[in-house]
Amino acid sequence: MDAAPMILVSSGTQPNPMSPQRNVSVLYGQALRQVGCEAVAMLGGDANHLADRFDGLLLSGGGDMAASFFGQRQHPKANPPDILRDEEELELLEAFCHRSKPVFGICRGLQVINVYFGGDLRQHIEGHDDVTHGVQTEPGSRLSHLCGAHFTANSFHHQAVGQLGQGLHSTAYAPDGTIEGLEHDTLPVFGVQWHPERMIAGVQMDVAADHTKLFSFLWGKDAGR
């Protein structure tokens, strides 16, 4: 029996003078388990060693990036940044991309991908926090193949992709034109702005759309690995 692919899931940090903490939703692990993978939460370590050991990287959702990483001043409505997480995730992206290993970014993770490749972010937008809305995918894209031409998705963000990073192209859009999906031209790297771990049959279904395929395409039994 083949060993299950091992996926590293990024996590946020919580400073504490007695015992610093990490936080990440358990839904990522449950979603990955649905497609035959095992998830391990990031607790620190050398990015290159981790990229050697793990089969893929899931950049999880979370708070806002520090604007300094994309050449802007922090917006008054931006949340306080987690600098350690920002640095850690950018280092992990570098290591996994260097090895051409799969990277899947969710919500914040999509934004980190765009910043890593030289893009920037819109630091505050209205109408996308704790709502549902339609998503239109680009014909012929990976997201179109996996999710269909149009579907309804959850939405839990107030920042969004601005200028696209080098080598990236947008593949999904909200009705107001906000970029909801990115794919890299040559690397196995893509991201979505919604939370597909909350759109998984048997795990959690915010809306009537099952997005298990977003996890299985890269790391499941049908991923062609």
Cβ-based neighbours of 224, under 8 Å, separated by 6 or more: none
- Annotated catalytic residue within 88, 180, 183, 197: 197
Q: Please state, in angstroms and as integers, the Cα–Cα distance from residue 70 to each residue in 55, 86, 122, following that order.
A: 28, 11, 10
- Annotated catalytic residue within 128, 157, 158, 195: 195
Please confirm, yes or no, whether 158 is among the known catalytic residues.
no
Query: Hunting for tokens 């990955």 — which residue is that?
Result: 32
Please confirm, yes or no, whether 195 is among the known catalytic residues.
yes
- Annotated catalytic residue within 37, 97, 107, 147: 107
Q: Which amino acid is at 20?
A: P
Please confirm, yes or no, whether 197 is among the known catalytic residues.
yes
Type and span of the H or E element at 172? strand 168-173
Closest CA to 216 of 205, 208, 225: 225
Query: Hunting for tokens 């934004």 — which residue is that?
Result: 111
Catalytically annotated residues: 107, 195, 197
